[in-house]
Structure 1
Amino acid sequence: MLGEVAALLAAFFWALASILYGRFSHHFSALQLNLIKGAIASSLMLITLPLLPDVNFDLSKQHMFILLLSGVIGIAIGDSAYFASLKRIGVNKTLLLESIAPPLSGILAVVLLGSLLSWQSWLGVVITTFAVALVVMQPETDKQAVNITGIGFGLLASVCQASGVVISHYALVAGDIEPLLGALIRLLAGVGVIFLMLVVLKRKELVGIANGFAKLASREFALLLLAIIVGTFLTLWLQQVALKHANPAVAQTLIATSPIFILFFAIAKGQIPTIKTLSGTVLAIAGISLFFIFR
């Protein structure tokens, strides 16, 4: 139950962060934004980790390598692709493409780890994934050209996230690793690879980070910091808790319900949802309930 609850909390925080990060997609490139949020969030983790009781820092080389690999795949590549997709096709379409990650996580968990789901859990994965897709598949209000690049980045992000969570799940469970420590190792791996990519390939972007911050008003900087705290520091920590205590397919499915929370934020702003959106929300809640009943 702990893993499922942590996954839902991660979905809530990621929904809030996605809205906030969307405000900065034109201030920073995808790699710049990924490096900024990774550097700040890892600093917060380094401060928090010593405050936790009974943290075992003695990791095997194998589990350390697996977590580092997971960070490179899921954070360095996956998150950069996510931000690139967010910038090109927006939050809704990016989250729609992200909805393929849960069933893919289930398939990878079976193939790589032999981790089987009950039929109720598989039904929950299918229903919830379909419901999330129904919520984010809004009709176009204008006839814009299809952005193939944005779609490609969204698909890449989904594949990397699915691969990253399955690999991370194995290391956390097999090595009995503290979730925050696992999150920190993954994040440091991602930040390191992104930094090297900017130094080698796009040095001007690395220098341009300071210019991007200079253009931010104090209120915008506070919002960016809030997005990093809830969207990277807390979300990644909760994601690791979910991955340690739940099947990766179940965890990824629940984390992918962030569009449902985005809908609630929209309603709070006075936006009236469509019948299709409300139907998808009810269906998603029904799918989520399958992970908590028949236990």
Structure 2
Amino acid sequence: MTNFSGEVAALAAACLWAVASIVYGKLGARIPPLQLNLIKGIIAIAFFVFTILVTGELFPSITILPMCLILLSGVIGISLGDTAFFTTINTLGPRRALLMQTLTSPISAILGLIFLQEKLNTLAGCGILLTILGVAWVVSERTTDIGHISTAEFRRGIVFGLLTAAAGAVGAVLSRSAIANTQISPLWAALLRLSAGILILLVWASFRQQSTFRLSSLRNSKVIAGTLFAAFCGTYLGIWLQQTAIKFTSVGIASTLLQTSPIFVIPFAIWMGEKVSIRAILGVVISIAGIALLFYL
């Protein structure tokens, strides 16, 4: 009997990221992106440490190179990528922010072509084009939920969305290179990535001139509950499941299924009263189809 643990983990991670992104969208009105990234990371690290203590899982035997790759993937993917992602959510909303993250896959393929001399056939090129067109078609639709922002803010959201995808692509490639052929468990890989990212965020925060922590925003019980919930679902469980998917299934399947968050977020958006157009739904389907074409063919 075939074991689909990697595929199930990828879909579960995508669903949890969709839920967490909606919560982060609400929290973004009260907590700045850098602070939110730092807080959710610290909370998730506490969950990971508790899990390791309960399970008694020992620190893995791993050589220097894979360790450095894991830590670097956390620095790029979490400290830079997640901060840019929260900025994108604040500007474009969770649904479009998640959709722009689907660009992570074609960017990964292009990076492999440039730096690793990996070959892309014609169908893979069509997949990249489909994904980009699907994202562009949805994001360019100026509906009422983002119609209130200025053109400058809209462009800022696009730039940070692209930065999120690029950082995610680099982080994913580094992480896959580190854990694919080693004995390190997904739990430890997730903790090491997250710890490296949060350490850089702490250094980054210490050099900022303005106050990074607005603790008054954390005095609201709903904000505290929302932050704990999103950190638990989106960061603790999400990253753990992501690393599980990367380790136990092929790169193509994991990358495709991990990018299905925009599909999961649509029902939640409708349930919350947001008007989701047919164009938006078709754009998501086109983007996911492009990712599937890129990796399978």
Q: TM-score range by the shorter chain?
A: 0.7 to 0.9
Question: Is the Cα–Cα contact under 8 Å of residues 74 and 161 in structure 1 kept in the other structure?
Answer: yes
Q: Tell me which residue corresponds to 2:183.
A: 176
After TM superposition, the score normalised by the length of structure 2 is: 0.82
Work out which of the residue numbers 124, 141, 151 in structure 2 matches 1:145: 151
- With over 3 angstroms needed to count, the CA separation of the structure-2 counterparts of 1:140 and 1:74, relative to structure 1, is same
Report which stretch shifted further, 114-123 or 130-139.
Answer: 114-123
Q: Counterparts of 1:96 and 1:285 in 2: how far apart (Å)?
A: 9
Amino acid at match of 2:164: A
Once the two structures are superposed, what CA deviation does each residue of 1:141-193 show, in whole Å capped at 9, x if it has no partner? 33732423332222111111000001000111122320111010000001100
Question: Is the Cα–Cα contact under 8 Å of residues 104 and 168 in structure 2 kept in the other structure?
Answer: yes
Work out which of the residue numbers 204, 211, 217 in structure 1 matches 2:216: 211
Q: Counterparts of 1:255 and 1:137 in 2: how far apart (Å)?
A: 24
Once the two structures are superposed, what CA deviation does each residue of 1:34-58 show, in whole Å capped at 9, x if it has no partner? 1100000011001112444765621
In the TM superposition, residue 283 of structure 1 has moved relative to its aligned partner by 5.1
Unaligned runs of 5+ in 1: none
Work out which of the residue numbers 22, 26, 37 in structure 1 matches 2:29: 26
What's the C-alpha RMSD, in Å, of the aligned pairs?
A: 3.2
Residues 12-91 of structure 1: pairs in structure 2 closer than 5 A: 12-52=15-55, 57-91=60-94
- With over 3 angstroms needed to count, the CA separation of the structure-2 counterparts of 1:117 and 1:39, relative to structure 1, is farther
Aligned length: 290
Q: Tell me which residue corresponds to 1:240.
A: 243
Unaligned runs of 5+ in 2: none
Identity %: 38
Work out which of the residue numbers 197, 208, 215 in structure 2 matches 1:190: 197
Amino acid at match of 1:76: S
Q: Counterparts of 1:186 and 1:26 in 2: how far apart (Å)?
A: 27
Q: Counterparts of 2:141 and 2:217 in 1: how far apart (Å)?
A: 32
Q: Counterparts of 2:274 and 2:18 in 1: how far apart (Å)?
A: 16
Amino acid at match of 1:194: L
Question: Is the Cα–Cα contact under 8 Å of residues 102 and 288 in structure 2 kept in the other structure?
Answer: no
Q: Counterparts of 1:190 and 1:11 in 2: how far apart (Å)?
A: 21
Q: Counterparts of 1:7 and 1:127 in 2: how far apart (Å)?
A: 22
Amino acid at match of 2:104: A
Amino acid at match of 2:186: P
